[in-house]
Every structure is written in structure tokens, then in C-alpha cells.
Amino acid sequence: MMEGEGTFFSRSFPDSASVVRFQDALIEWFCANGKDYPWRRTSDPYAILVSELMLQQTQIAAVLEKKYFERWMRRFPTPGALATAEESAVLKAWEGLGYYNRARNLQKAARTICDEFQGEFPGSYEAILALPGVGRYTAGAVLSFAFGRRGVIVDGNVSRVISRLLAFSTPIDSSSGIKAVWDYANRLTPDDRARHYNSAIMELGQRVCTKSHPNCMICPVSEWCSAKKQGISDILPQKKTKQAPVERVERVILPIRERKIFLTQESGTRRKGLWRLPEISEEEAEDLEELFRFKYAITRYRVTLIVHAPGPLQAEMLENSGGGKWFRIGSLDELPPLGSPYRKAISQHQCTSELSD
């Protein structure tokens, strides 16, 4: 524990009784106000794992709007169904969520469950943590939400709530800050009622103790909040200074003929198994018509995607290349799994074409 960390905690929670009162108030609020998400209607550990990996890099609203969770569970209802599926089908089901290694890790975890646990989801923290793609947050979430056992969780919402409760000023994304917040979360998590408590503290961060304009007036645990008492809720949590995003330009062609589109396979491990629009160089794009452009972000890059209509030279190159394939373009669902920027580009082209017809 860092020097002085105990002071942060004791300022808000001077004794164990205050911790219990805090837990009671938070859980009572959640039981009266908690949202009804589809993954909260089950205690199936496999379903919980699916939901947690989906939500790692994706906002709840996006997952809910397009019913990703429900569609996945219909397509792959058990670890066995996922373990034996073709990778292309798995990536297609994940299409639009991005960060496709999450889907690959889910399939690897399903295979581990089938191979090492005869298809039964393991019930110990250590065994869950050892599954591919599972870290200590996800292991704690599955343990508490599926098995009702004590599991400590820290995500962005929990970090924000804890940093404000304790008026903790160390950057929460620094190594010392991460260590301290996990320690505080451990001290605040009850031995029982873990499912309700963990849901409650995450939802508090999502709906009340938000990044900007925290609504302290309706917070059910404001009496324990040192940041509110000091009037510094709006400047916490602190984070390390972020590097400015790197600007990049990506140029592609959109080759369509006879209601078919030409796509190439992605290279590299991160997008392995996905397809994309053919990329061209700046020199190749000089004499081509620009159809449209838009920006997208990926990791530390902010990319401007410029979509061109192919010229005769590109059409001839496509005919002679063995690095791609023509696909029928009736609907996006009929295409192989695509990276989100290229799916958006094809969709935008289809909308434009329909409007001009």
C-alpha cells in the first residue's frame, strides 16, 4: 500500500460499521433502481462471460441497441456450440463490435471448457482466471454474477466511484493508482451479496457518478463521499496525460460490378479472419474519383478513410490478382466478416446508390 493510502480510506470509512452502511445503501438503491439488462436475467456463467467480454471495449447502449448479446446466445448457446463453430461464423457474429481478439478468446475459452472441464464451466476463481482472454476483473465478475460468490471487480466506472468516494488524487491509470484502487475495492466488497453489490457500484458510475457532471444530489452514497464534501468531484479521477492521437490517411477502392463486390483478406494477427476493401497507395489514388471519406479511431490512431471508385487499371489488377474474391452484395449480412470501417463504407455506398436511383 502506498504511503498515506490508509488516510484516504479512513477519511470516508473510519470503521467497519461505516463500510457495512455504505454497502447497504448502495445495494438498496440498486434493488430499487437497477436496469434490466438481458445478462442480468441469467446466472449461466458462459452467458455472463460472453456479456463481460462484449462490454470490455463497447458501451452498453451499443450492445443493447443491436441485440448483440441475444443474437450471440441464439447462435452459440453453449460452450460446446461455440467451440465447434467455424472461426468465420464467430467473427461474423461479432461483426460491428470491433476488437475481434475478444471473439477469438471467447472461442478459445469455450474450447478449454470443453477439453479440460467436459463442457462444464469451472467454478473456482483460479480456473476462471486461467481461461483465455480472462483477467482479474472478468474472473471476479463471473464469480459474483454467475455463482453469487465474492469477486472483486474494478472497471472504469468502479475506479471513478472509488476515487471520488476517497478523494483519491493519484492518477487511477498509473501503476500505483491501479494497485491502490484494487485494494480499496477489495476492502469495500462484501463477503455476501456480491452479485448485487458489484452490479450496484458499476451502475452508480454509469448513471450517477458519471465522467462529467456527476449528479451528487441523487447519489445514494454521497454521505460517504470525500470528493463531494471537498467540492472536487468534477476534477476526479485524475489520469496520466494522454498522448495526442496520431493522424493517418487510408485509401481504398470500392469495386462493385454485377451486384458483386471484390474484397481482400486482412493481414496481421489483430484482424486475422476478417475481410476488407482493397487498399491503394496515394499515387494510385491520384487519378481516381473520390466517392466519400470519413474518420474512424483505432487505438492511438485517428484515421481518415478515403473511398475511391476503381479505374480501369485497378479493375485489371483485381482480375489478375489471387489475393481477393468477389462476393454477392445483396445485403451486408451475406458478406464475410468485415472490419467496421469497411462495413460502414459499403453501407454508405449502398445508401447513396439507393438515393440516386
Residues annotated as catalytic are 52
Q: Which three cell numbers stand for residue 65?
A: 441497441
- 3-state SS assignment for residue 291: strand
Q: Which amino acid is at 73?
A: M
SS3 sequence, 168-184? CCCCCCCHHHHHHHHHH
**Max Cα–Cα distance, the chain, nearest Å:** 77
Q: Which three cell numbers stand for residue 109?
A: 475459452
**Alpha-carbon span 271 to 151, nearest angstrom:** 32
Element spanning 347, H or E: helix 340-356
Burial (Cβ within 10 Å: 0-12, 13-18, ≥19) of residue 138: buried
For the sheet with 301-308, list strands across it: 279-280, 246-253, 301-308, 290-298
Q: Which three cell numbers stand for residue 25?
A: 445503501
